[in-house]
Amino acid sequence: MIFKLDKQADVEAGLFFTLFGGLTAGLSLQYRLGTIAEMGPGMFPLILGIILAILGLVILTKGLLGSGEKAKSLPLGPAILITASLLVFAFLLLSVGLVAAIPAQVVVALWASEHFTWKRAAVLSAGLLAFCYVVFVHFLGIAVPMIAV
C-alpha cells in the first residue's frame, strides 16, 4: 500500500475531524455519563465525539489512499467575516436583544458570500429568529431577551 499525499484536502479534514472528535469525547468524560435510559450531560458529547472521530478516520484513510481532492487555500475574507458574525451576535445579544442580534449576524455572515442579497438576508433573519424563539425561548425556557432595554 502506497500513500499518496498529493491530495491533501481529505488528509487535512480527516486529521481535523479525528482530533476534534477525540478532544470532544475526552473532555466529555469530565461530566457524568449516566446510562442509556437516563443519559447524563456527558453522554451526548461523548457519542458525537466518537462519531466525529470515526468519520475523521474514514476521511483520513481515503485521503492517504490518494482518492481525495487537492487542498485549496482558505479564503481569508470570508473566514474573517464568519468569525466577525459570531462576535457581533455575542456582543449584541444582551445589549440590544435577539431581534437585532440575529439580523446583524446574518448580514455579516452573508456578506462573506458572493450570493449576498438583502432579500436573502431578510428571509434568513426572519426564519432564524422564529426558529430561535420557538426552540430556546418557548420550548427550552431560556431567558433570552427579545428586545433588551
pTM score, two decimals?
Answer: 0.61
* Three-state secondary-structure class, residue 65: coil
Q: Within 13 Å and on the Cβ side, how many CA atoms surround 45?
A: 16
Give the residue-averaged pLDDT of 118-134: 95
For residues 112 and 63, give the distance between their C-alpha atoms in angstroms, rounded to a whole number. 28
Q: According to the model, what pLDDT value does residue 5 have? A: 52
Give the residue-averaged pLDDT of 6-11: 74
Q: According to the model, what pLDDT value does residue 47 have? A: 95
146 DSSP 8-state letter: S
* Three-state secondary-structure class, residue 38: coil
Q: Cell 485549496: give the residue.
A: 72
Judged by phi (left if over 0) then psi (alpha if -120 to 50, else beta), residue 53 lies in alpha
Burial class (CB in 10 A: 0-12, 13-18, 19+), 87: exposed
pLDDT tens-digit series, residues 25-81:
999 999 999 888 888 889 999 999 999 999 999 999 988 887 666 777 778 999 999
Percent of the chain with pLDDT over 90: 63
74 DSSP 8-state letter: P
